Structure 1
Amino acid sequence: MAMSSGRGVHESDGMEDVFLALAAHRGGYVFRHDLIDYGLRDRDIRAAVRAGHLTRLRHGTYAPTSLVTPLSPEAKHVLIAYSVLDKLGPGVALSHHSAALVHTPQSFGVDLDIVHVTQLSGRHGRKEAGVVFHVGDTTEDDLVEVDGRLVVAPARAAFESACRSSTESGMVTMGAMMHDGKVAREELEQLGATWERWPGSRHARIAIRLADGRSESVGESRSLFMFWREGVPRPEMQVIIRTEDGRHVARSDFAWLLYRHTGEFDGLFKYGRLNSYANDPGLAITEEKKREDLVRSLMLGMSRWTWAGLDEKRRGRTARDIMLGLEQSKRLYTRNATYIPLFV
């Protein structure tokens, strides 16, 4: 990539290192004026973008492509949100979805193209250039500092986000924060009572009631929403399956104890906290087959579903299949059963 600039930079050799150094100074991104101050011209910046050395995050804001490419959509949103906050300066804090994503990397169904900030000065709310400016009754107790920036505290961020999204989305955010110990259900319930007249608060309060901190993924939280929405009995979560002599067989995402039935969102039982063979699909399948055979030998039925089965157009069918499995397991395994090898 040829460049012409006030600093006499004519070759691309070393420019990627320059971009990385400039971005590191700001925490992962660089403003246009940083590049201009270094000696580049707008045509140089455009050339760097075309060559794949820089990625445009928003107007006047860039990041080294090598840093942006590995980021999840949620992490990329946080990077952009930080750049917005830094440009706006004092008097604003990240809020709503943007603050929630600072506190947890898990989300579903939120608009990641919009950055949300709350103005601490009480000015009128507005929306401009992909940023929504909120006005709220925010005190110091509602704010925390993360990476040197003001961010709405976890509980309030989760509630704000849930008010502006679906119940399912709110469950994902709240479940993730509860799982990580960022919030307690009691905190969320108190906010729900305090702000019961907020627009969207009904969705948020339902999400509080349905969210579960034992959920370990977006898919598990969405599965809980599917059970509620489609009338499937609410199961226990992260249930340990053992043999009669107490030997650990597997850990199931969901278990309907009275039906002697288990459920797996991603299709695989877990041994311990993580799948030890995640990097060896063949061995994972072999070990999974052994666990499945052992689970079935303990007179336990099972249902499996994947991300596609949670789609709004397909979740009704998924739920019906689960219900059929529950009834079948109840008929086959609860009659004359003398023990239940499940321990929550």
Structure 2
Amino acid sequence: MFACLETSDLVAAGWNSHQIRSAVDCCLRRLRRGRYVVTRACDNPSHAFVAAIAEAEETALPHETAGMLKRGEDLRILVRSFVPDLPHDAVFSHRSALLVHGLPVPYVDKGEVYVEVASPRSSVRQRDLVVRRRALQPDTMEIVEGIPVTTVVQTLLDVARDCPLAFAVAVADAAVHLGRVTLEEFRAHQAAHPVRTRQSRITAVLENIDGRRETVAESICAVRFVEYSIPGFEPQLVVCDADGRFLARSDFGNEAVKVIAEFDGAGKYYIDDGDPHRAFERERKREYALRNKGWMVFRIRWADLFSADLFLRIKEAVRIRETEIAARDRLAGPMQGAQ
């Protein structure tokens, strides 16, 4: 885990204010007033205390440098730093609770690196902390490794109520896919804990959960199909040829019009032997085989999930193929009658 230190920890180790200042941007990074994260083991003798922590087997060091991956890492570090500062009647909630439970946070937008907490007393919004005033009942919170947090199912309910549909569905899909909760348990919990606002958001999430989806990208993609009114796409569609021989298992496929949508993440080109070129060649041969059997294949990148362009192209491809099939069926009718 990330090693977060307080000023008092450094003072107890014999450090003075000059040492602390010199360590910042060397082997420590200041998170907020009086809170730091260990970033590396430096060779400065006066920083030996921090170096020992950095070299400990259980210490994880920050390594992301830019973009959404860094924002996600910064969020995990910030949540860790708030563990000792949580008010006695508050619990981590929303994205912070997802991290505590080991569930994915699908994405972190710019300006959204802040800790989220639920408290029955008051609401507060600061640069790095958002406290929502929420009633906390015994069955909506628990202690995970000494950390007060909303339960998994309550976290799903909070996320469904307060986050965008694609984000919330991706979180719920992951929880169901990993066996952390069932759809029936989620439905029962929300029925037992009715909300006064945004019930329609929760209903929309419940209507779109599918534990067959294997990644947050697939879940977001599925929501985009709904938002752009693109029908007929099933997750993990197994494609066989006319003789029943296996061709592929696609991320999404519309069997009626023979259109496939595949998420094109870089990680899928790394296989057990660590040879991405071999994996890429295998993927290319697989796609050729599908195209030779009349399937149209669309490659979806992460950025495409947040743009309309590709989904409008998929929608148009489905429309054209449906029109062609209908035209063939109309022509086939009179011919069969003549026979």
Matching residue within 212, 230, 235 for 2:233: 235
Partner of 1:57: 31
Alignment of 1:1-344 (within 5 A): 28-51=3-26, 53-66=27-40, 67-70=60-63, 72=69, 73-88=71-86, 90-103=88-101, 104-108=103-107, 112-119=112-119, 122-128=120-126, 130-244=128-242, 246-266=244-264, 276=271, 279-311=274-306, 314-315=307-308, 317-330=309-322
Cα deviation, residue 258, structure 1: 1.6
**May I ask how many residue pairs the two structures share in their alignment?**
302
Cα distance in 1, alignment partners of residues 247 and 273 from structure 2: 18
Distance 2:153 2:166 in 1: 17
Structure 2, unaligned runs of 5 or more: 41-59, 330-339
Matched AA of 2:36: Y
Contact 1:240 1:250 in 2 (8 A): yes
Please, what TM-score do these two structures have when normalized by structure 2?
0.77
Match of 1:216, SS state, is coil
Q: Is the 8 A contact 1:255 1:261 kept in 2?
A: yes
Partners of 2:211 and 2:30 lie apart in 1 by 36
Question: Aligned-pair distance for 1:144?
Answer: 2.7
How far off its partner does 1:197 sit?
A: 3.6
Residue 234 of structure 1 deviates from its aligned partner by 4.4
Q: How far is 1:261 from its partner?
A: 1.8
Tell me the alpha carbon deviations over residues 180-233 of structure 1, each in whole angstroms, 9 at most, x when there is no partner.
122222233334444554433322321221232222222212211211111111
1:92–1:278 CA distance, 2 compared to 1 (3 A): farther
Shift of 1:276: 2.2
Cα offsets for 1:43-97 (capped at 9, x unmatched): 211211122x112222211111143423654354234223313223643221122
From the superposition, tell whether residues 269 and 83 of structure 1 become closer, same or farther in structure 2 (CA, over 3 Å): closer
CA contact (8 A) 1:118 1:135 kept: yes
Q: What amino acid is aligned across from residue 69 of structure 1 in structure 2?
A: P
Query: For 1:262, what is the secondary structure of its paired residue?
Result: strand
Instruction: Provide the rounded CA distance (Å) in 1 between the counterparts of 2:273 and 2:129.
Output: 39
2:187 match: secondary structure: helix
Q: 1:268 to 1:297 in 2, by over 3 A?
A: farther
Distance (whole Å) between structure 1 residues aligned to residue 200 and residue 223 of structure 2: 15
The percent of aligned pairs where both chains have the same amino acid is 26
Task: State the TM-score, normalizing by the size of structure 1.
Answer: 0.76
Alpha-carbon separation, structure 2, partners of 1:301 and 1:267: 19
Mapped partners of 1:160, 1:240: distance in 2: 35
Contact 1:227 1:234 in 2 (8 A): no
Separation in 1, partners of 2:205, 2:216: 14
RMSD: 3.0
Aligned partner letter, 1:294: A
In structure 2, C-alpha distance between the alignment counterparts of 1:220 and 1:155, rounded to whole Å: 21
Q: Secondary structure at the match of 2:148?
A: strand
1:138, 1:234 → 2: CA distance?
41
CA distance in 2: counterparts of 1:243 and 1:276, whole angstroms: 25
